[in-house]
A and B are shown apart, each in its own frame.
Chain A
Amino acid sequence: MTDGPAKMLLTATGLTKRFQIGSGSLFRPPRQVHAVDGVSLSLAAGETLGIVGESGCGKSTLSRLLMRLIEPTSGTISFRGEDLTRLSPAELRGVRRHMQIVFQDPFGSLNPRMTVRQIVDEPLRVHGQGSRADRDARIVEALQVVGLGAHVLDRHPHEFSGGQRQRIGIARAMVLNPALLVGDEPVSALDVSVRAQILNLLRRIQSETGVGLVIVSHDLGAIRYICHRVAVMYLGRVVEEGPVEQIFRDPQHPYTRTLISAVPVPRVTGRGPRLAVQGEIPSPLAPPPGCHFHTRCPFAMPVCRQIAPALAEIARGRRSACHLHTQPGAAPIPPSPRTGPAGPSTRA
């Protein structure tokens, strides 16, 4: 949000998705889930934006909304200056070659009946890119970028490990040189040892191609490692957003603090008391009124139960949605109990 919207690769404004649960009955309207509730985000070219949150906070729905794999209930998505929500199906198909997605499940995202060649060829074929020989050359090139070679072309997905399959998925996504790559939990299903390889691969691809990355994950370590900026989601809303190191070192929103405090830190001498989040995440079918987090927030005030705080700029490039920042009469935010691994010795 530090640059003007003109320089932005992707800008989502007020993005909302409601799902209907059941069909309701004659006298009762169907129940609705606010999976994503008024999310506004932006991504510059060559930037990596992380989206973190607990299970069920709407981050996967958001990633599919950004790709327009599902229709938003309201809000707009501007991609390279075009409003994706207004495009006709034919126009949308043309735009799709510039935006690609990598999925969580490396076993489910590749058709088991197709060969690697057919899988990576699909984007080239659909968008009519060159002759058979040209496409073969580009397929091999894409496979080499992800660390696989021409020798895998005629194999089937079941012959590969999870990490290798995810590389094939990345090759498929990158073969058209998209401007935007969305990763929906791209490393969550992988072994820890393979995770770092895939994260490094994504980082290298970005530095070489300048692709804009959106990485959705519940893995805070992965987000911190790969992202420039991060948006924290809670029950369909963004509660805090800013540069990744600032958020991790000095989280401002109470939810972000509990989330970051929950990251296990390997340390022989043990650690101070965690700021454990109390209770369970409320059902998205009946989210609490006002600030969604007030049922679990240690600093909840009466106003939090009535009015949802707006996502407001609290410092340059940082936004947070909490009444503690804005209420003139409110007590100042107590110092963070833990300021991340960078300053563990400041606490007795």
Chain B
Amino acid sequence: MQQAPRPGDSWRRRFWAHRSAVIGGGLFAAILFGCFVLPMLLGTNPTATSLLHRFEPPVWMEDGALANPLGTDNLGRDLLIRILVGGQVSLMVALATVTVAVTVGLILGTLAGYFGGWVDTIIMRVGDLFLAYPFMLLTISVIAILGPSLIVIVLVLALSDWVTYARTVRGSVLSAREREYVAAARSIGTPDLQILRLHILPNVLSPVLVLATVRAANYIIWESGLSFLGMGVPPPTPTWGMLLAEGRDFILDAWWLATLPGIAIMLTILSINLIGDGLRDAFDPRLKGGRA
């Protein structure tokens, strides 16, 4: 841990001096490594069944074996590799949804906030419509029509959440637009696009980045919920929500099948939220001392 941050420090410095942010960042890096690199090193097949090794408990329990460190499911598939590979889908869904939703929200929110008038009215009223529509119903009907796939799920999640970003962006743009240095740029004759890029977007990016980390955790939960309902990425590709749903049937005989994927979801959301906390404090100009 470095020395306590000072007010003049850059936000990066303050972020790395933030204890929970560093813990969250480390945890998230470990999760990324586990989901995307470890499966290749282990070389286990996540869909290989073995009826002789059904419901094997984790290694630390009686009858546990090192061959299946977290035990096996009802078809004898290795739970560890299924959790790790399942994380790939959950994390990709979260990342792709954040990218799509932030992009759409950033563009529409900036247009609404900077130009105001009827542009603002149309964009924000359409946004209200999306907010008023029950998200689960929308998702289920779209997936029922188009069929479940990774792209459809990402688009549906992004479609139902771009408004959150658009509203935040619009508010930040509205306040940034009234800064005197924006009036100065207009009096210089700076074109609108350059004013947006140089003087307005930097003020918008930090709240959006913080919001995105908080929402990313939600997308993992939503994806898990959809998989739990059977609306997620189709089997046999494992996802955390699907593992949870499958494990539910055997919760009395093999508690680890539902519990361990749940812990994976929890740790991922925790790490992302810690990073979000750290970013929020690092960007907050009112934070003078910091809690290093």
State the A residues within 8 Å of B (CB): 64, 67, 69, 92-94, 96-97, 99-101, 103-105, 108-111, 113-114, 122-123, 126-127, 158, 169, 172
Q: CB-nearest residue of chain A relative to B285? A: A112
From B8, B181, B186, B191, name the one whose CB has the most chain A CB atoms within 10 angstroms. Answer: B181
The residue from A109, A123, A126 contacting B181, defined by CB atoms under 8 A apart: A109
Tell me which residues across on chain A come within 8 A of B44, comparing CB atoms: none
Contact B188 A113 (CB under 8 A): no
Contact A103 B188 (CB under 8 A): no
Contact B187 A126 (CB under 8 A): no
Tell me which residues across on chain A come within 8 A of B19, comparing CB atoms: none
State the B residues within 8 Å of A (CB): 8, 179-181, 183-191, 194, 198-199, 202
Tell me which residues across on chain A come within 8 A of B180, comparing CB atoms: 103-105, 108-109
Give A288 Cβ to nearest chain B Cβ, in Å. Answer: 31
Tell me which residues across on chain A come within 8 A of B202, comparing CB atoms: 113
Tell me which residues across on chain A come within 8 A of B190, comparing CB atoms: 122, 126
Q: A67-B187, A109-B181, A127-B189 are in contact. List 18 more A-B contacts (CB 8 A).
A: A64-B183, A69-B186, A94-B189, A96-B187, A99-B187, A100-B188, A101-B187, A103-B180, A104-B180, A105-B180, A108-B179, A122-B185, A122-B188, A126-B190, A126-B194, A169-B184, A172-B184, A172-B188
Distance A172 CA – B187 CA, assembled complex (angstroms): 11
Tell me which residues across on chain B come within 8 A of A108, comparing CB atoms: 179-181
Distance A246 CA – B189 CA, assembled complex (angstroms): 38
Q: CB-nearest residue of chain A relative to B179? A: A108
Contact A110 B194 (CB under 8 A): no
Contact A69 B183 (CB under 8 A): yes
Q: CB-nearest residue of chain A relative to B187? A: A101
Give A293 Cβ to nearest chain B Cβ, in Å. Answer: 31
The residue from B183, B188, B194 contacting A96, defined by CB atoms under 8 A apart: B188
Contact A109 B184 (CB under 8 A): yes
Distance A126 CA – B180 CA, assembled complex (angstroms): 18
The residue from A64, A97, A111 contacting B198, defined by CB atoms under 8 A apart: A111
Classify the secondary structure of A's interface with B.
mixed
Q: CB-nearest residue of chain A relative to B181? A: A111
Tell me which residues across on chain A come within 8 A of B194, comparing CB atoms: 126
Contact B187 A93 (CB under 8 A): no
Distance A64 CA – B187 CA, assembled complex (angstroms): 9
With A111-B198, A113-B202 given, is the CB distance from A103 to B183 under 8 Å? yes
The residue from A93, A94, A105 contacting B191, defined by CB atoms under 8 A apart: A93
Tell me which residues across on chain B come within 8 A of A97, comparing CB atoms: 189
Give B130 Cβ to nearest chain A Cβ, in Å. Answer: 24
From B179, B187, B190, name the one whose CB has the most chain A CB atoms within 10 angstroms. Answer: B187
Contact B188 A123 (CB under 8 A): yes
Tell me which residues across on chain A come within 8 A of B199, comparing CB atoms: 111
Q: List 20 A-B contacts (CB under 8 A).
A: A64-B183, A67-B187, A69-B183, A93-B191, A96-B187, A97-B189, A100-B187, A103-B183, A103-B184, A108-B179, A109-B180, A109-B181, A109-B183, A109-B184, A110-B184, A111-B181, A111-B198, A122-B190, A127-B189, A169-B184
Tell me which residues across on chain B come within 8 A of A114, comparing CB atoms: 198
Q: CB-nearest residue of chain A relative to B202? A: A113
Contact B187 A69 (CB under 8 A): yes
Tell me which residues across on chain A come within 8 A of B187, comparing CB atoms: 67, 69, 96, 99-101
Tell me which residues across on chain A come within 8 A of B181, comparing CB atoms: 108-111
Give B145 Cβ to nearest chain A Cβ, in Å. Answer: 40
Give B207 Cβ to nearest chain A Cβ, in Å. Answer: 15
Q: CB-nearest residue of chain B relative to A103? A: B180
Tell me which residues across on chain B come within 8 A of A126, comparing CB atoms: 188-191, 194
Contact B189 A101 (CB under 8 A): no
Distance A109 CA – B181 CA, assembled complex (angstroms): 4
Distance A64 CA – B180 CA, assembled complex (angstroms): 12
Give B183 Cβ to nearest chain A Cβ, in Å. Answer: 6
Distance A108 CA – B8 CA, assembled complex (angstroms): 18
Contact B183 A93 (CB under 8 A): no
Tell me which residues across on chain B come within 8 A of A113, comparing CB atoms: 202
Tell me which residues across on chain B come within 8 A of A158, comparing CB atoms: 8
Distance A101 CA – B191 CA, assembled complex (angstroms): 17
Tell me which residues across on chain B come within 8 A of A101, comparing CB atoms: 183-184, 187
Q: CB-nearest residue of chain A relative to B182? A: A111
Give A265 Cβ to nearest chain B Cβ, in Å. Answer: 33
From B185, B186, B194, B198, name the one whose CB has the most chain A CB atoms within 10 angstroms. Answer: B186
Tell me which residues across on chain A come within 8 A of B189, comparing CB atoms: 92-94, 96-97, 123, 126-127
Distance A158 CA – B188 CA, assembled complex (angstroms): 22
Give B285 Cβ to nearest chain A Cβ, in Å. Answer: 9
Give B11 Cβ to nearest chain A Cβ, in Å. Answer: 11
Distance A110 CA – B182 CA, assembled complex (angstroms): 9
Distance A105 CA – B183 CA, assembled complex (angstroms): 12
Distance A93 CA – B187 CA, assembled complex (angstroms): 9
Q: CB-nearest residue of chain B relative to A124? A: B188
Q: CB-nearest residue of chain B relative to A109? A: B180
Tell me which residues across on chain A come within 8 A of B185, comparing CB atoms: 122
Distance A54 CA – B205 CA, assembled complex (angstroms): 39
Tell me which residues across on chain B come within 8 A of A67, comparing CB atoms: 187
Tell me which residues across on chain A come within 8 A of B179, comparing CB atoms: 108, 111
Give A300 Cβ to nearest chain B Cβ, in Å. Answer: 39
Distance A96 CA – B186 CA, assembled complex (angstroms): 9
Distance A100 CA – B190 CA, assembled complex (angstroms): 12
Distance A122 CA – B181 CA, assembled complex (angstroms): 11
From B186, B188, B191, B199, name the one whose CB has the most chain A CB atoms within 10 angstroms. Answer: B188
Distance A67 CA – B188 CA, assembled complex (angstroms): 10
Tell me which residues across on chain B come within 8 A of A105, comparing CB atoms: 180
Tell me which residues across on chain A come within 8 A of B188, comparing CB atoms: 96, 100, 122-123, 126, 172
